[in-house]
Copies of this chain bind each other. A is one copy, B any other.
């Protein structure tokens, strides 16, 4: 069997590691031969995810096509499907992670908890003053598509600032989503895997720590009441069924004083699930492969009481990990590096620690990340 992956970043690389173990070949569609997954793919196709010919070249040798990223043109994905190619998740499911406006509408209609929102097509003028008076300042303004890792999300405190973002999005012909700024107690994420038969497995919900829109740390399980943990998993299962996900689905949620509110969806392996590689019986990467290949899903149980993963970000002086590896490996943590050129602030890998004491596990993971030059996060 051969799986085609649109995109060749670290998620594709980690899918490849798991595919190799299962004896499954991989082809990646890479923009650039230097991308993380090219080093280890069995086949690399250089081309753009926006080029139907390149997509057909990828699909031609593969049994199924899946995704490393969601920066795709849904019409092209639908064209692949029309040509009889198995694409998972499908374009109709993927719409809800590619298009935040469609996502908000669909989830709201289904009675799922989302913040108050307003969808504004480019060129339509907005009375920010009225919205701010009603929902309270600050407001959140997002581009409906094309954002990731905190890019394309703006928290604005006043009318003038809101208009500045509005004009920028209008110039870029982007649909704008305006949302209330909910009072966030914690950010958590729930992940499920679903195959085409409709089988679902659910990982325990995790706590995620962000800094400037970049995920810094993930702790499994989230330290919240059991009913919140269960409710987060139930929401993820409900969404997976609602939009027909085949593959893994990560649902980012806010814990607020009024309960859970859905933030974003990702229909692919996700940073909030990296802990599963070392901390769950079956990793998100293995379950994603199993799901898209129509195979039975694996046990999502945790292997330890607490598992913490910390992202390795490029430090100011780090030009290579070679001189840092010895100190990092002396710590009891699993190291995952993506083979990317170190650059300040860039996501270059992650480390995972496991154990029975939450505080000690977190400290150990941060120590390993620090040994690799990762700057400390303000929250820690």
Of the candidates B14, B23, B336, the one whose C-beta lies within 8 Å of that of A337 is B23
Q: Which segment, of A151-159, A249-257, A325-333, faces chain B?
A: A325-333
Q: Which residues of the partner chain B approach A335 to less than 8 Å between Cβ atoms?
A: 21-22
| Residue A116, interface by CB 8 Å | no
Are the CB atoms of A40 and B16 closer together than 8 Å?
Answer: yes
Q: Which residues of the partner chain B approach A25 to less than 8 Å between Cβ atoms?
A: 39, 339
Closest to A320 in B: B1
Q: Which residues of the partner chain B approach A281 to less than 8 Å between Cβ atoms?
A: 332
Q: Bound complex: CA of A152 vs CA of B85, how far in Å?
A: 50
**Whole-angstrom distance from the CB of A99 to the nearest CB of chain B?**
33
Contact flags A272-286 to B (C-beta < 8 A → 1, else 0):
000000000100000
| Residue A299, interface by CB 8 Å | yes
> Which residues of chain A in 303-347 are interfacial with respect to chain B, using CB atoms and an 8 Å cutoff?
303, 321-322, 325-326, 329-330, 332, 334-339
Q: Bound complex: CA of A336 vs CA of B24, how far in Å?
A: 10
| Residue A194, interface by CB 8 Å | no
| Residue A290, interface by CB 8 Å | yes
Are the CB atoms of B295 and A349 closer together than 8 Å?
Answer: no
Are the CB atoms of A39 and B39 closer together than 8 Å?
Answer: no
Q: Bound complex: CA of A330 vs CA of B339, how far in Å?
A: 33
The main secondary structure of chain A at its interface with chain B is: loop
Q: Which residues of the partner chain B approach A104 to less than 8 Å between Cβ atoms?
A: none
> Which residues of chain A in 285-299 are interfacial with respect to chain B, using CB atoms and an 8 Å cutoff?
290, 293-296, 298-299
Q: Bound complex: CA of A332 vs CA of B282, how far in Å?
A: 10
Are the CB atoms of A22 and B337 closer together than 8 Å?
Answer: yes
Q: Bound complex: CA of A1 vs CA of B13, how far in Å?
A: 17
Q: Bound complex: CA of A55 vs CA of B170, how far in Å?
A: 60
| Residue A86, interface by CB 8 Å | no
Q: Which residues of the partner chain B approach A303 to less than 8 Å between Cβ atoms?
A: 303
| Residue A17, interface by CB 8 Å | yes
**Whole-angstrom distance from the CB of A300 to the nearest CB of chain B?**
12
Q: Which residues of the partner chain B approach A299 to less than 8 Å between Cβ atoms?
A: 332
Contact flags A133-146 to B (C-beta < 8 A → 1, else 0):
00000000000000
Of the candidates B20, B295, B329, the one whose C-beta lies within 8 Å of that of A329 is B295
Q: Which residues of the partner chain B approach A338 to less than 8 Å between Cβ atoms?
A: 23
Between A and B, 30 residue pairs with Cβ closer than 8 Å are: A1-B322, A13-B20, A17-B17, A17-B21, A20-B39, A20-B339, A21-B334, A21-B335, A21-B336, A22-B325, A22-B335, A22-B336, A22-B337, A23-B321, A23-B336, A23-B337, A23-B338, A23-B339, A23-B349, A25-B339, A39-B42, A40-B40, A40-B41, A290-B329, A295-B325, A295-B326, A296-B330, A298-B329, A299-B332, A303-B303
